Amino acid sequence: MTSCNTPVVEGMNVTTNSERLFKLRQEAIRFMLVNHPLDCPICDKGGECRLQDLAFEFGIKENIYHISSQATQIDYLSPLIERNNNRCVRCGRCVSICNEIQGEMAIEWVNHGFEAEILPRGGYPLNCEFCGQCIAICPVGALTNRLFKYKSRVWEMVKVPSVCPYCGGGCAIELNVRKNKVLRVTSDDETTPNQGNLCVRGNFGFGFIHNNNRLHTPLIKRRNDQVPVSWDNALNAAAEHLKKIISASGPDSVAGLGSLRASNEDNFVFQKFFRTTIGTNNVDSPAHFNYRSLERGLEEALGFPGSCSSFADLEKTEVIFVIGSDVRAEMPPASLKIMKATRFHGAKLFVANPISTKLEKFSNLDLRYRPGTELFLITGIIKAIIENGWENQDFIKENVSNFKNLKKSLKSITIQKIAETTSVPAEKIITTAENIAKKETGCIVFGYNVFTHAQAKEVVANLVNLALLTGKVGRKDCGLIPVITKNNCQGMLDMGVMPDLLPGYQKLEDRKTFEKLWGKSLPKKPGKTAEEMLTAIEKGEIKALYIMGCNPLMDFPEPDRWAEALEKLEWLTVQDVFQTEVAEKAHYVFPAATFAEKEGTFTNGERRVQKFTAAIEPYRNALPDWKIIQNLSQLLGYDMNYSHPSEIMEEIASLIPQYKDLTYEKLGRKGIQWPLQDGEDSPYIPLKDLKLSFSSLTFQEPKKVNSGKFYMLTGTTFFHSGTLSTYAQGPNILGNKAWVEVNEEDAKSIGLNEGDNLNISSANGSISAPVKISSVVPRGVIFVPYHFREAKVNKVISRKNYAEVAITKG
C-alpha cells in the first residue's frame, strides 16, 4: 500500500516504521539507484539531495543491481537551467510544478516504462519562463542552476531570510551566502506567504548585488569630472553648499525624489529630512506618474489607500475580472493564484487588455479593447449590470449611497456606443457583466494600463463603482487588487513620500503629532509634485534636488526636458546603487547599499509588511540610504540619531496609524498585512472601514489614432523588472536589448522582417528598436518594453498609457 494515496478509514491501524517497511523502502531506494550515476562529488545537489539522504538513511553502500543502459545527453543548450536526465528519478515533480503551479507546461513526459524521460516540450533548448521552480522542486541533481554551478557546496553557505526586491508580490526569499557573496536564491515552501514559489527575477535576478559597475565611493563634481572622495568630504561639501542655497533662496528652493525600491525606513527618513531638516514639503517620487493615481482613486472612492483584499482571496473567489494588466509579468504571485482558481476551483476569469497576455489561456472570455478605452469598457459593464437589473440591490440599499447619481451619469451613453469605442463586442461586455454580478464572490484585478491611463483616478473610481454595485468588497474572497510592479511602491506611499500628505496619508493640517515628536514646526503648504518640480527647476525656483534611488531620465515622461533642466541646478545629489545617467550629472554622488546589505522592511501589493536582514557587508564604502540621509541631516543641524532601522520602525509605528503596534519581532517570517486589528493582520478590509459611495463620472472619449498611425504600448516583460534587473546576469542572459513587437499581418503589409530596425516617433520624441514579429499584439498596435536604455519609451509616451506613433523601417 502506498501511504500517499491510500484513504484513511475508521479503525485503520497505521504503522509508519517497522523492520519490514525498512526493508521495502531500502529495496525501493536500491531500484532508484540502479541507473543513477554516483557522481555526488561533482553534483551541485550534493548535501541537499533527497536520494543521497535516503541512501544514507537506509545504509545503501553499493549498487547490487546492474543493468546496461545508455547515458542520455546532458542539456548544455538551455539558458540558466541544466538538465541531466541521467540523474532523474522520474518523480514527475518538475512536470507538475511547471504545469499545475506555473501554468507553463514547458516540459513533458516522453516514452513509457524504462524509456520514460522528461524533455522540454518542442525539444531543446528549453523555451519557457525560466521561473526556476523545477530546479527548486527536483529532489535530486537532475535540474541544476547554471549560475550556481560549482560555486559552492551547500553546507558552506548560510541562508539569510530576505524579501525579493523586484515586484510588488514581495516573495519571501533566502539569500544563500558564502564569504560575503550571494551565490543563489532559494525560498521555503512551508514558512513563506508565497509558498516557496518565485519567478525568474527572484530566482535568477540577484546578480546586480555584485555587479562590477556598483557605485563604491562618494563622488564630487570638480569642473566636469566626478572625483572620488571620502564620506566626510562628500557630506561636508554637500551640506555646506546646501546651507548656502537655503539661506539665499529658502527651503522651498530644495526638492527631493524618493524611491519605489528603497525600504520603508529609508523612505520614512527621506521625507522626514525634507520636512524637518530642510523645512519643505517638496518631496515626491516616480509614483506621481502612475501609482499615485491608484492611491488617490482608491482613497477618494473607497476611503482606503491600497488593496482591500489579498492574493489568497484570488484562489477561492468565484469570478475574477482582470483589466489593463499583464498580471503574469507585472506581479506573478497574483497570477499564480488566478491560474489556480480557474483550474482547481472552477473560478470564471475575464481578461481585458489591449494586447494578449498569458492569463488569456485560462480565461473564459478575453476582451481585447482599443488602447486608452478602459474607462469606457468598465462603464459598459456597469451599464449592462444596471440595465439588466443584476446589481446587488440589498447590498446597495444597506451600505452604499449615491446610486441615483451613478445611474444619472450613465444615462447619456449606450452599450452599443461603448462597444464601438472600445472595439469589444456588446455580447462580451454583457456576459462579463452578468458573471461579475451573479457570482457570490469576486475580485477585480487592475494594473499598469490602468495606473498610466490619462484619467487613471477616474478609472480606479469606476472599478470601485463596479465592486460596490455587485457587493464585491468588505468580505473574504472579494475586493480590488492593484497589480504593482515595483517592490515597495505601497510602502513608500505609506511612508508619506508625497508633497501633500504626511506619513500614513495624514493631512498636512494634522501635523501636530509629528511636530511634537520631531521637535520642529513643519511646513504648512503642500509641496511640489515631480511634474511641478520640473517647471520650478526650469524657472530657477528650485535650485537643489536630492534624488534617492530613482532616475527621472528613465522613469519620467519628457526625459529630454528633465536632462536639460537638471543642468540648471546648483546642487544635484544622487544617492544610488549604480552610476545611472542622472548620477552622471550630479554634483554629489552617494553610493547606497542594496537590500542584501542592510536591514529593513518592504510593504507589498497586498499591504504585507515584511522584514529583510543584512546578508552581506555593504559593498566597499556604500551605506544604507537612511544612514546617509541621517549623516547629512546632522551636518545641516537637525539631529537624527537612529542606531538601527528597528528604531525607525518604532517611530513609524507610533506615527502611522496603519502601522500601529508593528515591531520587527512581530513581523516574523510571513510579515503582517496592515492595519493590525486586535493584534492580528487584515487579509481583507471590512465594510465598516470603507467609505461606501458611488462616484459619478465624466469622461472624454479617447480619440482614435489617425489613419496610417499605430498605437504604441509599453510595460514590463516577464524576464525583467524596471531597469534594476538589467544589471543582473540572469535576466540579461534571457534578453538584454530592446525590441518592438509588431503584428504578423502588419509586418507583412509594411514589408518588415524579424530583426529589422524600426523607427518609432510620436509627437513627444523618437526611438528605434529591432522588430520581433508577434501574435501578442493585434493589428495596429506595437509594444516596446520599458527596461532598456537604447529605447527609452518615456521619450515617446507621455502621461497616457499609449502613444500615437508613426513607424518606418530604418
Residue with the three cell numbers 469570478: 319
Tell me which stretch binds ligand SF4 (CB under 6 A): 3-11, 15-23, 137-145, 778-786: 137-145
x/- letters, 283..322, toward ligand SF4 (CB under 6 A): ----------------------------------------
- Report whether 274 contacts 281 (CB < 8 A): yes
Residue nearest to ligand SF4 (CB): 202
Question: Does the footprint of ligand SF4 cover residue 169 (CB under 6 A)?
Answer: yes
Of the candidates 667, 686, 584, which has an alpha carbon nearest to the alpha carbon of residue 263? 667
Q: What is the three-class DSSP state of 141?
A: coil
- Report whether 597 contacts 624 (CB < 8 A): yes
CB of 93 to ligand SF4, least distance (A): 4
CB of 142 to ligand SF4, least distance (A): 4
User: Can you spell out the DSSP letters for 338-377?
Assistant: HHHHHHHS--EEEEE-SS--GGGGG-SEEE-PPTT-HHHH
Question: Does the footprint of ligand SF4 cover residue 199 (CB under 6 A)?
Answer: yes
Choice between 32 and 776, CB closer to ligand SF4: 32
Torsion of CA 502, 507, 513, 516, to 10 degrees: 70
- Report whether 239 contacts 636 (CB < 8 A): yes
Choice between 166 and 390, CB closer to ligand SF4: 166
Question: Does the footprint of ligand SF4 cover residue 549 (CB under 6 A)?
Answer: no
For residue 578, what is the DSSP state? B
CB of 414 to ligand SF4, least distance (A): 41
- Report whether 724 contacts 734 (CB < 8 A): no
Can you tell me which of 29, 49, 55, 143 binds ligand SF4, judged by CB under 6 A? Answer: 143
Tell me which stretch binds ligand SF4 (CB under 6 A): 198-206, 431-439, 557-565, 778-786: 198-206
CB of 495 to ligand SF4, least distance (A): 20
Question: Does the footprint of ligand SF4 cover residue 198 (CB under 6 A)?
Answer: yes
Choice between 134 and 260, CB closer to ligand SF4: 134
- Residue 554 to residues 179, 415, 524, 582: CA-CA distances in angstroms? 35, 39, 32, 9
Question: Does the footprint of ligand SF4 cover residue 134 (CB under 6 A)?
Answer: yes
Choice between 210 and 720, CB closer to ligand SF4: 720
CB of 139 to ligand SF4, least distance (A): 6
Choice between 106 and 508, CB closer to ligand SF4: 106
Chain center to CA of 102: 17
Interaction residues for ligand SF4, span 413-442 (CB under 6 A): none
Interaction residues for ligand SF4, span 73-132 (CB under 6 A): 81, 88-94, 97-98, 102, 104, 106-107, 118, 128-132
Residue with the three cell numbers 516504521: 17
Q: Does the N-terminal peptide bond of residue 125 adopt cis geometry, omega within 30 degrees of 0?
A: yes
User: Can you spell out the DSSP letters for 723-739?
Assistant: TGGGGSHHHHHH--S--
CB of 730 to ligand SF4, least distance (A): 12
Question: Does the footprint of ligand SF4 cover residue 164 (CB under 6 A)?
Answer: yes
Which residues sit opposite 323 in a β-bridge? 352, 446
- Residue 86 to residues 83, 113, 122, 173: CA-CA distances in angstroms? 9, 15, 20, 30
Chain center to CA of 462: 24
CB of 194 to ligand SF4, least distance (A): 6
Choice between 283 and 728, CB closer to ligand SF4: 728
Of the candidates 731, 717, 493, which has an alpha carbon nearest to the alpha carbon of residue 605? 493
Question: Does the footprint of ligand SF4 cover residue 676 (CB under 6 A)?
Answer: no
- Residue 425 to residues 133, 410, 419, 433, 705: CA-CA distances in angstroms? 39, 19, 5, 13, 20
User: Can you spell out the DSSP letters for 371-396?
Assistant: TT-HHHHHHHHHHHHHHTT-S-HHHH
Question: Does the footprint of ligand SF4 cover residue 167 (CB under 6 A)?
Answer: yes
Element (H, E) at 323: strand 319-323
Can you tell me which of 193, 196, 202, 702 binds ligand SF4, judged by CB under 6 A? Answer: 202
Choice between 197 and 658, CB closer to ligand SF4: 197
Q: Are strands 172-178 and 544-548 parallel, antiparallel or unpaired?
A: unpaired
Element (H, E) at 638: none
Choice between 45 and 472, CB closer to ligand SF4: 45
Query: Which residues contact residue 253 at a Cβ distance below 8 angstroms, ignoring those fewer than 6 apart?
Result: 245, 246, 541, 542, 543, 544
* Cα distance between residue 278 and residue 540, in whole Å: 18
Choice between 336 and 553, CB closer to ligand SF4: 336
CB of 69 to ligand SF4, least distance (A): 15
Question: Does the footprint of ligand SF4 cover residue 333 (CB under 6 A)?
Answer: yes
Can you tell me which of 332, 474, 549, 645 binds ligand SF4, judged by CB under 6 A? Answer: 332
Choice between 728 and 740, CB closer to ligand SF4: 728
Interaction residues for ligand SF4, span 778-807 (CB under 6 A): none
Tell me which stretch binds ligand SF4 (CB under 6 A): 67-75, 163-171, 219-227, 290-298: 163-171
* Cα distance between residue 54 and residue 69, in whole Å: 23
Strand intervals (E) in 577-697:
588-591, 600-603, 608-612, 672-673
Choice between 123 and 346, CB closer to ligand SF4: 123
Choice between 129 and 299, CB closer to ligand SF4: 129
Q: How many residues does the chain have?
A: 810
Interaction residues for ligand SF4, span 489-508 (CB under 6 A): none
Tell me which stretch binds ligand SF4 (CB under 6 A): 136-144, 228-236, 710-718, 749-757: 136-144
CB of 57 to ligand SF4, least distance (A): 18
Can you tell me which of 29, 43, 49, 140 binds ligand SF4, judged by CB under 6 A? Answer: 140
The one-letter amino acid at 287: A
CB of 505 to ligand SF4, least distance (A): 24
* Cα distance between residue 771 and residue 758, in whole Å: 6
* Cα distance between residue 208 and residue 149, in whole Å: 18
Residues near ligand SF4 (CB under 6 A), total: 41
Element (H, E) at 42: none
Choice between 36 and 472, CB closer to ligand SF4: 36
Can you tell me which of 33, 49, 171, 807 binds ligand SF4, judged by CB under 6 A? Answer: 171
Which residues sit opposite 604 in a β-bridge? none
User: Can you spell out the DSSP letters for 293-322?
Assistant: HHHHHHHHHHS-SS-SS-HHHHHH-SEEEE
CB of 353 to ligand SF4, least distance (A): 19
The cell numbers describing 774, all together, are 508577434
Positions in the binding site for ligand SF4 (CB under 6 A)? 81, 88-94, 97-98, 102, 104, 106-107, 118, 128-134, 137-140, 142-143, 164, 166-167, 169-171, 198-199, 201-202, 332-333, 721
